[in-house]
Amino acid sequence: MDCPCSNFYESMHYINVQTQKYHIVKTTSQSAAQMGEYEIIDDFGGHAKCMAEKMCMESQLEETAAFINLNTLEERLAGKNSIIHEFIDKKTGWCRSRFIPVDYDENGRLLHVLFCIECIEEEKKRENRLIYLAQTDLMTGLYNRGSGERQISHLLQEKTGGLLCLIDCDKFKTINDTYGHSTGDKVIIAVAETMQKSCRDKDVVLRLGCCML
């Protein structure tokens, strides 16, 4: 079975949902080494379980097992072009597995699917970088105003008790005028670092203009 989208995937299996028989359409040497030599072709469930145990972090095994369960697959795929599950591979990092329906019988019963795995480690790194840039004041590493205010709003909605402090750097303009803006930046960074060290991980510390909150 030749599939043009196979170039995207580390591995691809063609599965008969009703019999659970399968054959491997594509696999890389790396993923093959992780999966080991499995001669079983009549039991995708057993094969997938072995794959999951070798590849997935232990904390993700239960969720992964639920995803690869063929007994519930038809219901989960109803009305969808595909379903996905993301997990952390022990060797390669973030991966995404996907079921894609291939065909149905005359009664609309799902017959065959593709089960594909792709590495998304670089995608996750880019995604995390974009999230960091959107939420962070790049000079200090604190939350920026927008993301910090959202964090505080969430805590207020959850009725979480706490203390709100507004800290201003007195005579900061004098520092900039006397020693230059580069020195002023160092002062802001030093204040931010001191606040981060003084606060707990669950506390929200943000930069509000020249003030710290």
* Model pLDDT for residues 84-131, shown as the tens digit of each residue: 999 999 888 999 999 999 999 999 999 999 999 999 999 999 999 999
- 107: exposed, middle or buried (Cβ count in 10 Å: 0-12, 13-18, 19+): exposed
pTM value is 0.69
Confidence of residue 25 (pLDDT cuts 50, 70, 90): confident
DSSP code, position 165: -
pLDDT digits (tens, 9 = 90+) for 29-84: 554 444 444 444 678 888 888 888 888 988 999 999 999 999 999 999 999 999 99
Alpha-carbon span 189 to 185, nearest angstrom: 6
- What domains can you pick out in the chain, each with its CATH number? 11-125 (3.30.450), 136-198 (no CATH)
pLDDT in the model for residue 162: 86
Alpha-carbon span 211 to 73, nearest angstrom: 53
Confidence of residue 1 (pLDDT cuts 50, 70, 90): very low
